[in-house]
Amino acid sequence: MSNNEYRDAVNEGIREGAWTLRKLLPWGILGIIILVVIGWGLHSSEIIDKNIDREITQHSRQYTESKQAILQNLYSQYASLQTGIVEAEANSLTDVAEAKQAQQKALVLQMKREATNIPHDQIPAEIKILIQ
């Protein structure tokens, strides 16, 4: 095979490759776009389903009662710390009182997190006042 024949064969291969690419590339891009749209649609519907499941779970009686019990437990810990703070201040133990106040702040934050998991009207009144 001479150089001219080789060059002609290479040029023909390039032309055929370019023609094939021009014909197949739009179909490939269209296929990718369709797959992305289908994937996005499936993903979106799962998110919607998860939010609906979350709403149903949050409004279920057992879930709400368990969160209320957790909130009541945290509130009783908060109240017992308040008693400890009063006793510590009465005995001039300011370091102990400050430590208990820090614990109270942490409990309030935890109550706020737990309260976001149930409907607002299901939060006990004393806790609503505390976390506002």
Q: Do the Cβ atoms of 38 and 31 come closer than 8 Å?
A: no
* Residue 43 one-letter amino acid: H
Q: Which of 11, 41, 59 is the last residue of a domain?
A: 59
Instruction: Please report which confidence band the pLDDT of residue 15 belongs to, taking 50, 70 and 90 as the band edges.
Output: confident
For 70, residues 6+ apart whose C-beta sits below 8 A from its C-beta are 114
Distance in angstroms (rounded) separating the CA atoms of residues 100 and 84: 7
Same-domain status, 54 and 66: no
Same-domain status, 130 and 65: yes
pLDDT digits (tens, 9 = 90+) for 35-66: 988 878 776 766 656 666 666 666 678 888 88
Q: Which of 27, 43, 59 is the last residue of a domain?
A: 59
Same-domain status, 34 and 53: yes
Same-domain status, 11 and 53: yes
Q: Using a cut of 0.85, tell me whether the model's pTM lies above it.
A: no
| CB-count burial class (<10 Å; 0-12, 13-18, 19+) for 115 | buried
Same-domain status, 54 and 72: no
Residue 11 lies in domain: 1-59
